Amino acid sequence: MSKTKSFIYSALIVALLVGDAVGGQPSTASPCFPIANHHDEVVHFTENVFLLLQKAPASVTSWCRTTSRNRLVKGVPGSLHLRCLAVDVVPENRKSRMLILHLARRFKLLAIDEIDHVHLETVCFARPVHRHAA
């Protein structure tokens, strides 16, 4: 990416963040309220992915995986895809990619740039977990 475009995207992200800070459009992301069970965990996660994708358009290319599919695509053992708590998305364009990477935390998501896609997983759990996996 050129320095000019990088600057423009950075300025755009700062403007979005400042806009919220000074009373602009409030964030509608769901906080990590106490989550009772796996069903609620999945609902909470998918809602936050949906809200993020309203600000940064992207296509979901992977969500829930079986263990055999996870092995086939060389996912890490214990991947959150196995619990439907991770998605892979292909951003619509570079601006969208930058926004996803910068805004994910506000939507209680960990974003990992895997070059040909962005892996998003929840940071909110019903029970303690011991790992994060792409």
Using CB under 5 A, list all residues that contact Zn ion: 88, 119
**CB-nearer residue toward Zn ion: 8 or 133:** 133
- List the structure tokens of 50: 């949906």
Min. distance of Cβ 5 from Zn ion in angstroms? 27
Min. distance of Cβ 69 from Zn ion in angstroms? 12
| Cβ-closest position to Zn ion | 119
Nearest to 109 by CA among 124, 92, 96: 124
Nearest to 62 by CA among 80, 47, 77, 44: 80
